[in-house]
Structure 1
C-alpha cells in the first residue's frame, strides 16, 4: 500500500492511512460517522454520569479520543470513547478524594489528571513493548470481574431509574440505600415508566432489529415523551441545556496528595483498557484482514487518554459495541471517528440545548443495557461444566468486585490469575507410564490401567518445570515410588515436559540421586531438552548422576534397562504403582 512506503514509514499510523486513503471510502466513512454520532452522544453523557461526572464531559472526552486515535491508531475500524466498564473504576478513584458534596469542578480536574496518568502509563507500555501485560488477567477471572462489574453498575443505576439518588458507595451499601429509598416512598412513577420503557425498547430493537440505532430511537422517543407528558413537571429529572462551546486546553490542577491514590486507580484502569483494546483489535482485525499491532495500539490508547485529560475529559477505552456499529454502517477508516467528533463539536457550538429535555432515567436505561452486555452468564455456566477450578476463580473474582469494590476487584482478578499460573506450576500433573499393546509409545497408566510395566523399573512423567516451589514435592513423589515390592532398580524420568530446572531443584535432584543410590536405585533421564541438560551440567549434577544415564528417547532408555536386567513386560499386580492411583 502507498502508506507503507519509505515516505510514510516514520509517520503516525493514522497519517499513513491517510496517505493510502481511497476516494471510494469517503461516502461510506461519512455515513458511518453520522450513524456513529447518534450513538456517541447519549452514551458519552450516560457514561460520564456513571463515572460521577457532568454529562458534558462525556462529549468532550468523545471528541478528543476520536481525534487522537485517528492520528495515532493503527486500526482503521476501532472506535474509542467513554466506556461502561471504566465508569465505576473512575468513580471509585474519585470518590475517596471528594469531600461530601464536593464541587463538580474538582471532580472534573481529578478525572482529567486520572486520564493523563492512564495516558502516560499506556504510552510507556507501548514504547517499552509491554503488550503482554494485557494477558495478566485470564479469561475466567475476567468473566468473573465483568459479571461483578455488571451487577455493580446495575445496582448503582437503579436509584436514577426510579427517580431518586443515594449517597451510598459500594454494591452492598448501594443496594441497601436503594431498598431504603423504595421503603421511604422516594420513587417517581413517571421516572420508572420512562426508564423501564427505555430498557425494554433498547433490548427489543437490539434483539430483533440490530441495524436500527436502538439507543438513538430510545433517546428521541424519551425527549418526545417529556414534551407530551410534561415529565419535568411530574418530578422526572432532565439533562438540561449543555454548556455552549468547547473547553480550552487545560492542565488539570490537583493537590499533590491526590496523585498517589489517582496513580493506583490509573494502573487498574490502564490494565483493563489495554486488555479490552487488544481483545477488540484482535477480534475486528480477524474480520477485516488487518494485522494487530499491540504496541502501537497501546501508544494510541495513551495518546487518546492524554488528549482527553487536557480538555476536561476522563479515561477511555475501545468500545466493541460502537466499533460494531461503525463496521455495520460501512466505515473504512478513522475518518469515521473524525466526522463523529466534528458533528459533536457542531452540536456543542450551535445546538447545546438539543438534549435538554432528555430524562435522566433514559440515560440510566442506556447504562443498564450496557451493563447487561458486560455480563457473561453463559460463559460462567460453561466454566462450571468444563473446569470447576476455573469456575471457582471466576466466582472469586466476582465476589472481589461485589464485596471489596471495583478497584480492589481488578487487583483480586489479576492476583487470582497470577496465583492460578503459579498453582499449575506448583502442582503440575505427574503420572507413571507403561506400555500398551498395539499402541506405539508409553502411556499414562491412569488412562490405560491395563498398561504393562517392567519389573524393577518405574517410568515417571512430570508435566512442568522443576523449580523451588515444587522440587521437594517432586523428590518426595519419587521416594514414594521406591517403596514397592519387588524393589526398584531404575527410576526413569520421562523429562520431555520439564522445561526448566533452577538451582533449588538441582540441589533436590542431587540429594534424591544420593538417596536412591543408597538403596541401589539409579536415577535416569530420557528426552531431556538440550537447554535443560546444559543447565544440569553447569550445576555440576553429572558428578552424582551418571552421564550414561541420560538417554535421547524413552525407547532407548527402556532398551538399555532390558539389556542390563533381562526384564520382560508384565501386568503383574506387584509392579510399582502410581501412588496417586486408587
Structure 2
C-alpha cells in the first residue's frame, strides 16, 4: 500500500510528519480554539484600551506567523492578558488611550519586541527565559491579576472607567461604589460563573462564548441597555493594511526600555508553554525557534497596527486537549475569527462590557495560582517572602517598574543562592574507599595530617572570598601537623578569573607552608579548561589531579603506603590461604 503524503517543509516546522488523515483533529481543535479566542481577544483588546477588532488582528498576526516560523505544534499565539496590562499601563503614562498616538506607540512597541525576540532566537538565547524563578514568576502573575481585577472592576459594577495608577483607581472606585448598577454586576457574575463551571466540567467547553452569547441575547431581548447596561458598541472590523511605523527618537526613548521588559516576560511565558505542551511525547522543545515565531508574530502585528503578542498557556492547553496535531488548528481558528469580524460585527457590538469583564476576571483567577502560593509557603519561607514581595511590587508600583523589580528580585535570589555555598569537610566511610560529607548520622574516618574539603557550586567572584576564608580556617584548625589538602571538586562546574586567582594564591601558600595540595574529581570540562587558562595547573604541579579522593590520599598522604600495607596484611589474615595470592596479584596489577 502506498504511504500517505507527509509534509516536511523547512519553515513550517509544526507540519512535520503531518498526515492528511489526521486533519479532522486539527479542524475540531481549530473550531474550539476560535470559540475560546474570540471573546478572549475582544476582552484583552478592551483591557489594553483598543477596539475589539485590534485583538482579532493581533491573534491573526501571531497565529499565522507562528505557524510559518515557530516550532511547537500546539502553541497558540495572540493577544495575551499577561503582557497587555504591562504595556498598556506604561503607554498610558505617556499618551492618552484616546489619542491616535497611543495605538501608534503600541505598534512601535510590537515591532521592537519582535526584533528583540528574533535576535534572541537567532543568538540561541533561550537560557534568558530561565532567569525568573518559579516563586518570582508566581508572584509576578498574581500582581498582574491584581491589575486586571482593578481595571475591570468599573466595567463589572457599571461605573465609569478609572485612570491612573492602581492607587488612584482604587480611590475613585471607593467613591463611586454606591452607584453600582446591579444588573451589570449580575451579568458579569453570571458570565464568570458559566465560564468557571464549564472549565470544571471540561476545558473543551467554550464557556466564554456561551456566556457572552447568553448575555448578549439577554441585553438585546430585555432592552437592558436602556437600564444602564453598557455594551461594547460599534465593532467595525477593518481589513488589515501594512504600514511601517517610523517613530521619533523621543518616542523610541519612551518605549525601548518597556520593550526589553515585555520581551523578557514573553520569553519566560513562551518557554514555559513550549515545555508544558511539547508537540510530541518526549520531543525536546526548540525554544529558540519558538522565539523566532513569536518575534515574527509581534512584528507582523506591529505592521498591521496592532499590539504585541504572546504565547497563551490556556489556549495552548485547549488545542492539546482537543487533539490538535499541528498549527493548522491555529490557521483554522484565524479563518473563523476573520469571518466573525466580517459578518458578526453587529452581534459583537451588542456584547455587554460586563461580560468581557467576567472573562478577564476568570483569566485573573487562573493566573493568580493560589495553590502554587500555598505550596511555596509550606516548603520555603524565604522564597514565599520573595513571591509576596513580587506581588506587592508589581501591584503597587507602575507596572513596568514592578516587572523590572520582579526580574531583579529573581536575579538577586539566584546570586544569593550561589553565594550560600560554603566549604565542607569530607570523611571516609568505614571499611570503604568512599569519601562523604561529614554528617551526624555517619561516623566517618579521617587520615592523620590530611584534610579533604569540597565546594558544591561554581567558583566565581561571588563566592571566591568566602571560599578563601573557609579554606584558611580549615587549614588553621588542622594545626601544624597538616601535610595534605585534597579539594574534592565534583561540584565545581565553573571557575572564573577571580576564583582562579584566589585558588592559585591558596595553593602557593600551602606550598610555602610545606603542605601538599591536590584536586580530586574535577569533572567539569569548563572548570578543567579554566584551570589551564588561568595558570592553576602550573601552580598545582604534575601529578596533583586525581580521579578520586581515595586515589589522592593513597598516593600523597603521609604514611599512606604503610597504612595500606597494614590493612592488606590484616585482610590476608582474614582470607582463606587459597585466596590470598589472588588478592596480592590483583593489588600488584592495580598499582602497576
- Shorter-chain TM range is 0.7 to 0.9
Counterpart CA distance in 2 for 1:495 and 1:156 is: 54
Aligned equivalent of 2:79: 82
TM superposition shift of 1:359: 0.9
Counterpart CA distance in 1 for 2:250 and 2:176 is: 35
Aligned equivalent of 1:165: 160
Alignment of 1:500-519 (within 5 A): 500-516=494-510, 519=513
| Native 8 Å contact 1:436 1:450 kept in 2 | yes
| Native 8 Å contact 1:67 1:338 kept in 2 | yes
Q: For 1:254-310, what per-residue CA distance to the aligned partner results, in whole angstroms no more than 9, with x for missing partners?
A: 544111221222222222222222222222216556552222211111221122112
Calculate the aligned-residue CA RMSD, in Å. 2.8
Counterpart CA distance in 2 for 1:510 and 1:332 is: 57
Single out whichever of 202-211 and 501-510 deviates more from structure 2. 501-510
Alignment of 1:542-557 (within 5 A): 545=540, 547-557=542-552
| Native 8 Å contact 1:97 1:258 kept in 2 | no
| Native 8 Å contact 2:7 2:19 kept in 1 | no
Counterpart CA distance in 2 for 1:222 and 1:23 is: 39
Tell me: CA distance 1:387–1:438, structure 2 relative to 1, closer, same or farther (3 Å).
farther
| 2:37 alignment partner, one of 37, 40, 45 | 40
Counterpart CA distance in 2 for 1:146 and 1:485 is: 51
**1:111 partnered with 2:111:** no
Aligned equivalent of 2:315: 322
Q: Secondary structure at the match of 2:434?
A: strand
Q: Secondary structure at the match of 1:88?
A: helix
Q: Secondary structure at the match of 1:285?
A: coil
Q: Secondary structure at the match of 2:557?
A: helix
Counterpart CA distance in 2 for 1:275 and 1:203 is: 27
Aligned equivalent of 2:290: 297
Alignment of 1:188-227 (within 5 A): 188-227=181-220
TM superposition shift of 1:364: 0.6
| 2:489 alignment partner, one of 482, 491, 495 | 495
Tell me: CA distance 1:526–1:209, structure 2 relative to 1, closer, same or farther (3 Å).
closer
Counterpart CA distance in 1 for 2:78 and 2:497 is: 49
**1:366 partnered with 2:362:** no
| Native 8 Å contact 1:122 1:299 kept in 2 | yes
| Native 8 Å contact 1:241 1:354 kept in 2 | no
Q: Secondary structure at the match of 1:453?
A: coil
Tell me: CA distance 1:350–1:509, structure 2 relative to 1, closer, same or farther (3 Å).
closer
TM superposition shift of 1:4: 6.6
Gapped regions of structure 1 (runs ≥ 5): 570-582
Tell me: CA distance 1:466–1:566, structure 2 relative to 1, closer, same or farther (3 Å).
farther
The normalised TM-score by structure 2 is 0.86
Tell me: CA distance 1:350–1:36, structure 2 relative to 1, closer, same or farther (3 Å).
same
**1:430 partnered with 2:423:** yes
Counterpart CA distance in 2 for 1:333 and 1:515 is: 63
Q: Secondary structure at the match of 2:140?
A: helix
Gapped regions of structure 2 (runs ≥ 5): 567-592
TM superposition shift of 1:52: 2.0
Aligned equivalent of 1:579: none
Aligned equivalent of 2:115: 120
TM superposition shift of 1:408: 2.1
Tell me: CA distance 1:488–1:316, structure 2 relative to 1, closer, same or farther (3 Å).
farther
The normalised TM-score by structure 1 is 0.88
Q: Secondary structure at the match of 2:445?
A: coil
Aligned equivalent of 2:306: 313
Counterpart CA distance in 2 for 1:538 and 1:75 is: 40
Tell me: CA distance 1:391–1:244, structure 2 relative to 1, closer, same or farther (3 Å).
closer
Tell me: CA distance 1:437–1:340, structure 2 relative to 1, closer, same or farther (3 Å).
same
Q: Secondary structure at the match of 1:220?
A: helix
TM superposition shift of 1:370: 0.5
| Alignment: residue pair count | 559
Aligned equivalent of 1:580: none
